[in-house]
Amino acid sequence: MGLARLPAPLLLITDRMQARLPLLDVIALAFEGGCRWVSVREKDLQPLQRLALVEDILPIVRRFGGTLLVHADMHAAARADGVHLPAGADVAAARVCLGESAIIGLSCHTLEDVAASDGADYVTLGPFAPTASKPGYGPVLDPQMLRQTAECGKTVLALGGVDETNAGVFRRAGASGIAVMGGIMRSDDPANCVKRILGAWDDNHPSGYPR
């Protein structure tokens, strides 16, 4: 799967512990602001709790014609549109489990990770800027790595410290999209936050993505 099958340029990753507003409100407001793609990353929840949360989020996403993924939980992902896997996970096994129509993403932190991501529809790569969500989480990467991955034919989302000040930089460097967690989760106005980030991404670059 290539760029044409990305649901949208912005992937919102959830973290209810950082959210300034109730998580469902954050997601609804983010979608009102133009987000169309979210992944539930609530790793501390028990499987049944996570599944219940996915069931609560799904109507919001469907109301906007959006796409819902789940981080790492294959059972809950089967109720959604796909799964986002940790680095080194078995993408082929996930494809067998979820089917050809599922969207499967993979977390990457090095070029070697990206090179080994065959079968994934997209990968996240980062961090590209200091991030409050994961302070000290590995060295900040050079945006030129995005161009290298794009030249290899990989669909890569820039992750880590992405906001309206640098979203356009990552696009020009070769990112196919961007992934944001803390900046939107911690915002007291998620809709406007999303609008600003997408505006920076789209600046002078009509994206062709649905809004």
Q: What is the pLDDT of residues 79-111, one digit of tens each?
A: 999 999 999 999 999 999 999 999 999 999 888
Say if residue 127 is preceded by a cis peptide, omega within 30 of 0.
Answer: yes
> Please, which pLDDT band fits residue 148 given cuts at 50, 70 and 90?
confident
- Where exactly are the structural domains of the chain? 3-202
**What's the whole-model pTM score?**
0.91
pLDDT at 64 over 60: yes
For residues 89 and 65, the answer to whether their CB atoms sit within 8 Å is no
Which residues are CB-contacts of 79 (< 8 A; sequence separation ≥ 6)? 51, 54, 55, 58
Strands (E), the chain: 10-13, 37-40, 67-71, 82-85, 103-108, 122-125, 156-159, 177-180
Q: Tell me the pLDDT of the chain averaged across its residues.
A: 90
Q: Tell me the CATH number of domain 3-202, given options 3.40.50.800, 3.40.190.10, 3.40.50.300, 3.20.20.70.
A: 3.20.20.70
